[in-house]
Amino acid sequence: NAGVMQNPRHLVRRRGQEARLRCSPMKGHSHVYWYRQLPEEGLKFMVYLQKENIIDESGMPKERFSAEFPKEGPSILRIQQVVRGDSAAYFCASSPNQGLNSGNTIYFGEGSWLTVV
Amino acid sequence: AQKVTQAQTEISVVEKEDVTLDCVYETRDTTYYLFWYKQPPSGELVFLIRRNSFDEQNEISGRYSWNFQKSTSSFNFTITASQVVDSAVYFCALSVFNDYKLSFGAGTTVTVRA
């Protein structure tokens, strides 16, 4: 997990609040992915972003969830009006420009653990 | 659609025993990529290995070895002479050509007792 930085590591929110999770990819990586690890469900793809573009958000819940990767700064996963079911570990990953076809590998960050009380 | 099955939910061994983790995958693509990740109790996901479908060579890295068999769609992982620090959840994952999504197995929890 060489260099993908996520923060906060742990976040507690009350129902109805907003959660913002940040991810800085490895140096030189411009592809960012978010995965969610729900209890008893394993790791699931949520969204794939490149700078200023959402490439694939097919794994994102239709409501309350959004993601961005601005030209400057980290990628942000935003969850509005959190509910208890949003409690999970959220992992960010990054890969080099060419993606998986070119022999590259996805490296994950340490994860952000969201607890909704 | 891709599918990864890790049939073993939990494995418990005594230190110095060998442990093999099974991974069976399903895909219709002829070009694909297989991965193993380790998630220790601290929670981060640590990359262990990537294997391309056209490269069936087995690999050894220290006490870790991987056995890739296309004929049985399996990519098994063996830890030799296990140590307490090997205690973790191990995930097998699959991605296919021109895709970027990883399909993960459910994970196998390995507990190594001193």
**Of the candidates A36, A28, A37, the residue with the CA atom closest to the CA atom of residue A3:** A28
Do B93 and B104 form a contact (C-beta atoms < 8 A)?
A: yes
Residues β-bridged to residue B32: B96
Eight-class DSSP state of A60: S
**pLDDT number for residue A30:** 86
* Mean pLDDT across chain B: 93
Other Cβ atoms less than 10 A from the Cβ of A61: the count is 12
Count the residues in chain A: 117
Residues (pLDDT < 70) of chain A are 1-2, 97-104
Please indicate whether, in this complex, the C-beta atoms of B45 and A91 are within 8 angstroms of each other: yes
| Separation in Å, CA of A70 to nearest CA in chain B | 20
Share of chain B above pLDDT 70, in %: 100
**pLDDT number for residue A28:** 83
Interface test with A, best of B2, B30, B31, B44 (most A CBs within 10 A): B44
Eight-class DSSP state of A41: T
Interface test with B, best of A106, A108, A112, A113 (most B CBs within 10 A): A106
Interface test with B, best of A101, A105, A107, A115 (most B CBs within 10 A): A101
Please indicate whether, in this complex, the C-beta atoms of A105 and B50 are within 8 angstroms of each other: yes
| Separation in Å, CA of B82 to nearest CA in chain A | 22
3-state secondary structure of A101: helix
Q: Is the pLDDT score of B85 beyond 90?
A: yes
Please write the tens of the pLDDT for every residue from B3-56. Answer: 999 999 999 999 999 999 999 999 999 999 999 999 999 999 999 998 989 888
What letters, b where the CB count within 10 A reaches 16 and e where it falls short, cover B9-44? eebebeeeeebebbbbbebeeeebbbbbbbbeeebb
- pLDDT tier at B81 (50, 70, 90 boundaries)? very high
Please give the radius of gyration of chain B, using alpha carbons only, rounded to the nearest integer.
Answer: 14
Antiparallel, parallel or unpaired: β A31-38 and A88-95 = antiparallel
Please indicate whether, in this complex, the C-beta atoms of A111 and B43 are within 8 angstroms of each other: yes
Q: Is the pLDDT score of B78 beyond 50?
A: yes
- Phi (first) and psi of residue B47, to 5 degrees: -70, 135
Residues β-bridged to residue A32: A49, A94
Cα distances from B82 to residues B8, B21, B65, B107, in angstroms, run: 17, 12, 12, 18
Comparing B111 with B50, the larger pLDDT belongs to B111
Q: Does A91 touch chain B (CB under 8 A)?
A: yes
Write the single-letter amino acid at B95: S
